Amino acid sequence: MGIENIVVEPLTEHIGVELHNVVFEAMAPTRPFIDMMKRLLDEHRVVLIRGQKIEPGTAQDFTSNFGPLLDIKRQGSGALHVPDAEWIKVISNGKTADGQLIGDGNSSAQLWHTDSTPWEAPVGHIAFYCRQTVDPAPSTYFMDMIKVYEALPQAMKDRIDRLRVIHHFFPRQIEPEIHRNAPSMPLEDRKLGTLHPLVRRHLGTGKPILYLPTRRDSLIPDMDEAESRALLTELWDFVDTCPFKVGHAMMPDDYVIWDNSATVHSRDGWPAEKVRIMWHISAEGEVPIPLHPRRTLNTIGLDPDKAREVNKGMAMVDY
């Protein structure tokens, strides 16, 4: 069976597709399938394939087509994860019969977020493979942040297109209880994160992405603290009103892969006494490219002394 037999069905009118007539284990190593998946992710952000029997090595090797694989396991937990599969992080709140953690995580709901934004080169693509779920199965949700940006009023686009924001690390920031009740980190600590464009360019299509930090108390260097918080809160409030989303309750043997750079995702919680098990594989993306990069004046072709003279005392400029 080749890719010509694959049926592509939209998940919603806004985001995501589901593939039918796929045997992932057989197709994943083939160039036509890899290229097809890359095209679908560039266009639709999320790809779902149900009912797959996937070996750990196949799951890792396929995700590596999108970038170098990343070890994202929690350090020092002693969790089992998947033996001999160093790039698979098990997301689970379960334990073995002798009390060993199966993987990382808990049963808490999660807010809209993009993984690893405090990194200089954040995760580009993420794959989930469901091994066990609970009844009723919690849904994972995805929002297309390219379409969110397109829907912004032009006045807001003009306001944010050239801004940068500091993405600082805040433990368990995606859990609603932490988000609501945990106090902000000291101002000096919030200045220590990675500076990313508030609007970045999508590598696959060139389209602008609204690229938000999870924390509303993140800092925009061109604004004071209160103004930063007000703007980020306004933008996240706008995201919450947008229809460009899809939810899927992952069932055993469901596989989903998504573009982490151009989406945010969230999930429902479930009772702590019930156990869900997911494989999670992340591939590194590119350093976020601003929609409007800041450049110095063009001195190509000038001798070094003349180039220094042209740029002497000049601030960075936007072209």
Any idea what the CATH number is for the domain that residue 272 is in? 3.60.130.10
In a domain, 304, yes or no: no
SS3 94: coil
Residue type for position 52: Q
pLDDT in tens, 33-44: 999 999 999 999
Cβ 34 vs Cβ 62: under 8 Å: yes
Q: What is the pTM of this model?
A: 0.93
Residue 46 lies in a domain: yes
- The answer, yes or no, to whether residue 54 has pLDDT greater than 60, is yes
Asked if residue 319 belongs to a domain, the reply is no
Domain of 271?
3-292
| pLDDT of 132 above 50 | yes
Position 242 in a domain:
yes
Closest CA to 17 of 47, 51, 50, 49: 47
- What would the pLDDT profile of 102-124 be if each residue is shown by its tens digit? 999 999 999 999 999 999 999 99
Contact predicate 265/112, CB 8 Å: yes
Rounded Cα distance between 137 and 280, Å, is: 17
Task: Kindly state whether residue 312 falls inside one of the protein's structural domains.
Answer: no
Confidence class of residue 280 from pLDDT cuts 50, 70 and 90?
very high
Domain count, the chain: 1
With 90 as the cut, is the pLDDT of residue 269 above it?
A: yes
Task: Look over the chain and give the mean of its residue pLDDT values, rounded to a whole number.
Answer: 95
pLDDT at 319 over 60: no
Q: For 169-190, what is the mean pLDDT?
A: 96
What is the rounded distance in angstroms from the CA atom of residue 260 to the CA atom of residue 124? 5
Q: Distance (Å, rounded) from C-alpha 256 to C-alpha 8?
A: 14
Q: How far apart are CA 246 and CA 12, in angstroms?
A: 7
Q: Is the pLDDT of residue 174 over 90?
A: yes
User: Residues 47, 257: contact at Cβ < 8 Å?
Assistant: yes
- For residue 272, the model assigns a pLDDT of 96
The three-point CA angle 20-23-29 to 5° equals 125
